[in-house]
Amino acid sequence: MTVMRILQIHTALNTGGIETFVASLANELSSQGHEVHVCSIFEPTKDAVCWNRLNEKIIRHTLGKRKCGFSIKEPMAVYRLIRRLRPEVVHVHGFIAYYLLSILLLHRSVRFVYTVHNDAAKEGNQWDERLRKLKQMIFARQWAAAVTISKESDTSFESYYGDSNRTLIYNGISIPAFPTIKKEDFLFINPGRITEQKNQVMLCRVFDRLIKEGFPIHLFIAGDKQDETIFTQMQPYFGSQLEYIGCRSDIPQLMAKSGAMCLPSLWEGMPITLLEALACGCIPICTPVGGIKDVLIDGENGLMTTQVDEVEYYQKVLQYIQLTDTQRAQMREQARQTAEQFSMEQTAKQYLRLYNQKE
Instruction: For residues 260-273, give the mean pLDDT.
Output: 96
- The pLDDT of residue 177 is above 70: no
- State how beta strands 35-42 and 5-10 pair: parallel
Digit-coded pLDDT (tens) for 71-127: 899 999 999 999 999 999 999 998 889 999 999 999 999 999 999 999 998 887 777
By percentage, how much of the chain surpasses pLDDT 90?
A: 83
Q: What is the band of 179 on the pLDDT scale with cuts at 50, 70, 90?
A: low
d(CA 53, CA 35): 17
pTM of model > 0.85: yes
- State how beta strands 283-286 and 111-115 pair: unpaired
Residue 182 burial (C-beta neighbours within 10 Å; 0-12, 13-18, 19+): exposed
State residue 308's pLDDT score.
Answer: 98
Closest by alpha carbon to 328, among 208, 196, 182, 225? 182
Q: Which residues partner with 173 through β-bridges? A: 343
The set of residues, in sequence order, having a beta carbon less than 8 Å from that of 192 and lying 6+ positions away, is 17, 198, 200, 222, 223, 263, 265, 273
Round to the nearest angstrom and report the end-to-end CA distance of the chain: 21
- The pLDDT of residue 209 is above 80: yes
Could you give the residue ranges of the DSSP H alpha helices within the chain? Answer: 17-31, 49-53, 73-85, 100-106, 126-130, 132-140, 151-161, 200-212, 228-234, 251-257, 272-279, 292-295, 310-321, 325-339, 344-356
Digit-coded pLDDT (tens) for 300-333: 999 999 999 999 999 999 999 999 999 999 999 9
State residue 359's pLDDT score.
Answer: 56
- The pLDDT of residue 279 is above 80: yes
Digit-coded pLDDT (tens) for 140-174: 999 999 999 999 999 999 999 988 789 999 999 98
